[in-house]
Structure 1
């Protein structure tokens, strides 16, 4: 049974990884989440920010007829659907695209290679390109980045997207400034690395998978959480935590917990070979100590070897909500991840561990 659940989790994770979900255009990911979530909760809806919300009534909420959202105690558990991507800044006369990042990363994080251009009418395949390394100073844009000659780090001004199309063909496909460009599906297939798995966009598809699985586990048990639970699959986390802020403002409850990838670096004393990461602070907020302590205790009781961390250069849906005064309490639970915002690697058991901690916290938060 455990092996079957592991296989199903992996299949769902792969399906989510293959779905394109740039910020503001998360529909493909949301459709998969809704399909998986609806059988497990009492109600689902999509709010005005594009978040998918699943409501699970707590055992202390009373009957459905007596239930009103306004007077309910609730816990919001969030995982974001959007991914790091590129956005077209201009279409050049030769049909190439100049792109800028949507989210914080450099071209090297994605690597040169195939990309999906999400035109309004047609999705096209392009290639994120730099140009030939066999060049001299006459090709200054390339020369600047050569490790044996130049002194510039590869940045977005150096690369372009080759489309093989004319500007007219691109216009017919609905490609224009503002069109999203994503790492192509062929580069998003899970690979096994010993006891680990790797792919682009574990951030945040691994946590989305864990949150969906947590809803499934709770649905399979006769015991319900005492408080109402809102499973929220958020939009636009990578560009400001917009969806989470809206959900925290509009949904009941005073506690917001985000599920994320967590950096594994010596400065945080975290490793990818350790257990789930529980954050006590990040660059935007100090998380509530009682919440972090409880997450640590649960993971310890489950023999998961949790890692406490004070994170810098990191933000989450929960820290955006708390820093904006939209959630009085917040927590952050992360799957330990190598190379965040790059080609990300997590333990094969990482999603299951995150699920177990979430389920136990919702059933026994105190």
Structure 2
């Protein structure tokens, strides 16, 4: 397959990636999504937990399923600011400073966004400096990193930079890069999955039962949005859209085949629901990989673990460098759309 069929998908993901949305401060991506959905004429709303919910009415409104994709991203959170205007931060979600490296980050203040440089200290040092250990035998930790702002405390306060301020990779560093049929970028987890939701919102018409497409909030800090939604809406099933790590420990291959999870760190997924998704993939003539992974959770597994839904599944696309500068095959992302469209129209009511 040539690259041209993926151009629109790449463009949509690029727009989403450039919308900052650290957990709990997701206003920028909310605004972009609202404008997109207004143009689409979708039936959507925002709930009290900051989820954006699209409803596609079905022929039988007494039954419902949900497909979720979280809109928040990992990053850092300000802990303190010293007299020199250096900002100390801690992780927000599964973020590691050595993944981002020294470079520009954006601090989302209450009144303005300010940029600074995530810093680890000089290299030309001896054992007398803590940075020496980073060169020799261990990675840098958040406790040893800081954001260099070269600003006064008054300037930072005026922008609303304070303990609790969210920090993300600088916007100019986030712009996605095209590698043939692959996309490389920060925050493909989970902006690429939001692009899948938007495609489904356009393509699914008159399903046999109600379909909720949920751009969920604060997933990276405990699936907060999905738990809130699934506690209040009766669902027969919930399918989470996610990335899936490419690693030698898992039998997952890079390429256009999506991945269906059997298990993750929160527990088992529902085998009957997985079977229906596998049937939908076969009907759509899309190859599908199956994996059981650790160190991972989704809206689906967490909602099912806490008894909010009777059945859950997770459909994902294989991704390199997860929670870093991620790389994924655009064909796998596109094939998630094909599988879920077929599932919603032909298999969800079984």
Aligned to 1:190: 176
| Contact kept in structure 2, 1:117 and 1:182, CA below 8 Å | yes
Aligned to 2:145: 159
| CA distance in 1: counterparts of 2:49 and 2:191, whole angstroms | 19
| Contact kept in structure 1, 2:77 and 2:167, CA below 8 Å | yes
| CA distance in 2: counterparts of 1:126 and 1:49, whole angstroms | 30
Aligned to 1:280: 262
| CA distance in 1: counterparts of 2:211 and 2:326, whole angstroms | 29
Select 2:70's aligned residue among 68, 80, 87.
80
Work out whether 1:102 is the aligned partner of 2:92: yes
Structure 1 residue 143 displacement after superposition: 1.0
Closer, same or farther in 2 for the Cα pair 1:284/1:204, shift >3 Å? same
Aligned to 1:9: 9
Work out whether 1:142 is the aligned partner of 2:142: no
Work out whether 1:180 is the aligned partner of 2:166: yes
Structure 1 residue 5 displacement after superposition: 6.3
| Contact kept in structure 1, 2:75 and 2:168, CA below 8 Å | yes
List gaps (5 residues or longer) in structure 1: 62-71
Structure 1 residue 128 displacement after superposition: 0.5
Aligned to 2:340: 358
| CA distance in 1: counterparts of 2:85 and 2:169, whole angstroms | 19
Work out whether 1:216 is the aligned partner of 2:202: yes
Deviations 1:172-202 (A, max 9, x none): 1110100001101111111122331100000
- Structure 1 counterpart SS, 2:334: helix
Structure 1 residue 157 displacement after superposition: 1.6
| CA distance in 2: counterparts of 1:352 and 1:168, whole angstroms | 48
Closer, same or farther in 2 for the Cα pair 1:233/1:162, shift >3 Å? same
| CA distance in 2: counterparts of 1:35 and 1:5, whole angstroms | 24
- Structure 1 counterpart SS, 2:104: strand
| Contact kept in structure 2, 1:41 and 1:55, CA below 8 Å | no
Closer, same or farther in 2 for the Cα pair 1:192/1:255, shift >3 Å? same
TM-score, structure 2 as length reference: 0.95
1:255-266 paired onto structure 2 within 5 Å: 255-266=237-248
| CA distance in 2: counterparts of 1:135 and 1:3, whole angstroms | 47
> CA RMSD of the aligned region, Å?
1.7
Structure 1 residue 350 displacement after superposition: 2.5
1:1-366 paired onto structure 2 within 5 Å: 6-38=6-38, 40=40, 43-61=43-61, 72-139=62-129, 141-147=130-136, 151-218=137-204, 223-273=205-255, 275-365=257-347, 366=350
Deviations 1:229-279 (A, max 9, x none): 111111100000000000101123221110011112232200222510000
| Contact kept in structure 1, 2:97 and 2:141, CA below 8 Å | yes
List gaps (5 residues or longer) in structure 2: none
Structure 1 residue 329 displacement after superposition: 0.9
Deviations 1:25-62 (A, max 9, x none): 1111122222223455762111110000111100223x
- Structure 2 counterpart SS, 1:23: coil
| CA distance in 2: counterparts of 1:198 and 1:178, whole angstroms | 29
| CA distance in 2: counterparts of 1:207 and 1:4, whole angstroms | 20
| Contact kept in structure 2, 1:280 and 1:289, CA below 8 Å | yes
| Contact kept in structure 2, 1:80 and 1:234, CA below 8 Å | yes
| Contact kept in structure 2, 1:44 and 1:53, CA below 8 Å | yes
Give the count of matched residue pairs.
Answer: 347
TM-score, structure 1 as length reference: 0.91
| CA distance in 2: counterparts of 1:37 and 1:252, whole angstroms | 24
